[in-house]
Structure 1
Amino acid sequence: MDLNIEKYLKDIELVIVGGESDKNARILNYAWVLDIRNQCVKANVNFEFRQCGTYFVKDGKLYKLQVKDLCRQAKLANINYNI
């Protein structure tokens, strides 16, 4: 699902992205995370990827992650943007 937030980024200091956790969590697609990040970089707005989702798609592959690993995996992605 594409989400264009560029028009809302004026005067925004930080955008935070993260997936849902639990057995009923919706799938988080990493391509979507990167798209939101790119919009933030373009607008020169801080961006943080706080946690993956329990169900996480990267490069077309679906992963099921344990809740205890969600924040660590997001940090390992190393995609936060700070101005």
Structure 2
Amino acid sequence: SGMRALPLGLPKIMVSTLASGDTAPYVDVSDIVMMPSVTDMAGLNRLSRVVLHNAAQAIAAMAAKPAPPPDGKPSIGLTMFGVTTPCVT
């Protein structure tokens, strides 16, 4: 819930053993990235070190190159579901 309270566009990544299942209760409607931990996070081992290193690199890259600010133009939302793709495009 703490990450969901942060503004959209602010980089957020969560390493969790729960990332391989139903993530809806954790991510909800947000831009949180969930990365599977592959191993239990009870301590560091040769696998968890690699996973945590990759997560740290991902968040560092997202923070280093932030998205440009919105241009102030109004936006609309469109969804595509296969057969509507040509129309939406």
Structure-2-length-normalised TM-score = 0.29
Q: Is the strand fraction higher in 1 or 2?
A: 1
Structure-1-length-normalised TM-score = 0.30
RCO comparison, higher one (Cα < 8 Å, 6+): 1
Flag the structure with larger Rg: 2
